[in-house]
Amino acid sequence: MTMDLSRLTSSSRRLHLLVNPFAAAAAHSRRPISTDTSPITVETSAPFTAHNCDEPSRSVETTPQELVSFFRDMALMRRMEIAADSLYKGKMIRGFCHLYDGQEAVAVGMEAGITKKDCIITAYRDHCTFLGRGGTLLEVFAELMGRQGGCSKGKGGSMHFYKKESGFYGGHGIVGAQVPLGCGLAFAQKYLKDETVTFALYGDGAANQGQLFEALNISCLWQLPAILVCENNHYGMGTAEWRAAKSPAYYKRGDYAPGLKVDGMDALAVKQACKFAKEYALKNGPIILEMDTYRYHGHSMSDPGSTYRTRDEITGVRQVRDPIERIRKLLLGLDLASEKELKDMEKEVRKEVDEAISQAKESQLPDPSELFTNVYSKGYGVEAYGPDRKEVRSVL
């Protein structure tokens, strides 16, 4: 009689393989099970810490298919950001550019815990969130390079990604300004009674913004389905959190609003927290999630990221908490994939990124007339002069 390994918890699966060498041999000779949707239960790497609310269970239900997708999606995001770094240094990307490598578990875990009908709005470190919402690599690289094939037709650049049809509302350059906008989205969701929520993401540097507390106050009064997510990567630009905040326990800073501190380097913990927060917000109103995460690059491309922290610190996080390596170890430990399968997947990801970059380079630059579009609402009769100051034409 055989036992279905995919239905075991992680601990019982390992025990079964130890006491049954024939099952282990069969597992090693099996076909890849990336499409297996049989439920398994995995415990989060660290406990949740709650403020004025219950703690979610550390036992997270997942599937082999989901775990493999986590690995692939995060590997794709990581490679995309590393490629963006090279393109910027090669002057193919201009302006501002803020990379997300190290923080991929937040984007991937959040997406796994909600639906595309729920809304996400974030700041300017937005490439991976856009990809998680269903955006394509071509749209990413074309936008970064200012090409027509970009998600904002090449007019927004790194800081202004957008995909309304998937509930992604940007990409905002003004620090903290996305939070009241997100609460406005939550107001609309409650008004329409569509049982969805909005996740408004901001960094630890933006956590001291007054507009955040104003938006939280009115959202709590009106019990809006707003979830404020502080992506605490521990440095607001070049300033460590402890130098900028008297109380860096950001999940508690809503005071009357409940909060939850989450290991933001664990995709499964993020998934569990976001599911919990959605259920809570739909019944009770706002809740704050503090994602304890880390960025490997500097704040932006002008920041080497090594003047205010040591290289040993960055290396230590990579070795102990890296979100991709955690999923790799989990897949190998549960015998859901081999080292070769995962390396082959990473090679595929590199090829995908390279192909998308080539396609993006072929995309045309916007026509100069695009300077005058998407500036004013229709109906104001605004006119613009041509370059010679003689030709006058309506731009609306």
Q: What's the Rg (C-alpha) of the chain?
A: 23
pLDDT value, residue 264: 98
213-257 pLDDT per residue, tens:
999 999 999 999 999 999 999 999 999 999 999 999 999 999 999
271-275 mean pLDDT: 98
Mean pLDDT, range 123-151, rounded to an integer: 98
**pLDDT per residue over 77-100, tens digit each?**
999 999 999 999 999 999 999 999
- Residue 323 structure tokens: 């979100």
Q: What pLDDT is recorded for position 45?
A: 94
DSSP state of 257: S
With 50 as the cut, is the pLDDT of residue 16 above it? no
**pLDDT of 35 strictly over 90:** no
**Which residue spans within the chain are E strands per DSSP?**
40-43, 49-51, 59-62, 119-121, 198-203, 226-232, 235-236, 239-240, 259-263, 287-292, 383-385, 392-394
β-pairing, 239-240 with 259-263?
A: unpaired
Are 212 and 202 spatial neighbours (Cβ–Cβ below 8 Å)? Answer: yes
pLDDT of residue 379: 62
Phi, psi of 75 (to 5 degrees): -65, -40
Contact 257, 98 (CB under 8 A): no
The C-alpha atoms of residue 64 and residue 332 are separated, in whole angstroms, by 11
Contacts of 153 (CB under 8 A, 6+ apart): 366, 370
* Tally of CB atoms within 10 A around 346: 18
Pull the structure tokens for residue 348: 């595929």
DSSP output for 50-80: EESSPPPPSEEEE-HHHHHHHHHHHHHHHHH
Of 124 and 29, the one with more pLDDT: 124
Task: Give the confidence band of 27 by pLDDT, cuts at 50, 70, 90.
Answer: very low
Band of the pLDDT at 386, cuts 50, 70, 90?
Answer: low
**Looking at the DSSP assignment, which residues form a beta bridge with residue 163?**
168
Across residues 313-342, what is the average pLDDT? Answer: 96
Residue with tokens 């897949």: 331
Contact between 108 and 74 under an 8 Å Cβ cutoff? The reply is yes
> Per the CATH hierarchy, to which homologous superfamily does domain 34-362 belong?
Thiamin diphosphate (ThDP)-binding fold, Pyr/PP domains (3.40.50.970)
What are the residue ranges of CATH 3.40.50.970 in the chain?
34-362
Query: 175-184, pLDDT tens digit by residue?
Result: 999 999 999 9
pTM, two decimal places: 0.88
Q: How confident is the model at residue 390 (pLDDT cuts 50, 70, 90)?
A: low
What is the band of 22 on the pLDDT scale with cuts at 50, 70, 90? very low
What is the full DSSP assignment across 154-222? TSSGGG---BGGGTB-----STTTHHHHHHHHHHHHHHHT----EEEEEETTGGG-HHHHHHHHHHHHT
Structure tokens at 174: 């003004």
- Number of Cβ atoms within 10 Å of the Cβ of 207: 25
